[in-house]
C-alpha cells in the first residue's frame, strides 16, 4: 500500500486542523505530503506516532506527524510543521 485510504480531519477546537494552523499549514498542504510520501513513512523517535517529510506542491518542506491505523489504512493527522520550528 502506497497511500492511506482515509485521512481524518477534525475542525473541532483543539483538533488537528487547529494544530496545523498554529504552524501556518493548511490541511491541503499536509494531505499532499501525506499522500505523496506515505510510502516513506517512519516511526517518530519521540512518540508512538509516525511521520513523513516532503515538499508540498508549492515547494514548502513539511514534517507531518500522524497516527496510523494499519488494519483500516486510516491516518489521523496530529500536526505538521516546517523543520526549522523544531
Average pLDDT, the chain: 89
pTM equals 0.87
Summarize pLDDT for 1-16 with one digit per residue, the tens: 456 789 999 999 999 9
Asked if residues 66 and 8 have their Cβ atoms less than 8 Å apart, the reply is no
Contacts of 36 (CB under 8 A, 6+ apart): 54
- When pLDDT is averaged across residues 38-45 and rounded to a whole number, the result is 88
**Which pLDDT does position 86 carry in this prediction?**
46
Amino acid at each position: 500500500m502506497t497511500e492511506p485510504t482515509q485521512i481524518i480531519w477534525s475542525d473541532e477546537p483543539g483538533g488537528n486542523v487547529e494544530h496545523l494552523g498554529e504552524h501556518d499549514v493548511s490541511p491541503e498542504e499536509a494531505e499532499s505530503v501525506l499522500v505523496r510520501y506515505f510510502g516513506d513513512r517512519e516511526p517518530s523517535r519521540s512518540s508512538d506516532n509516525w511521520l513523513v517529510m516532503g515538499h508540498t506542491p508549492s515547494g514548502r518542506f513539511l514534517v507531518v506527524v500522524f497516527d496510523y491505523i494499519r488494519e483500516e489504512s486510516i491516518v489521523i493527522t496530529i500536526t505538521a510543521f516546517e523543520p526549522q520550528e523544531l
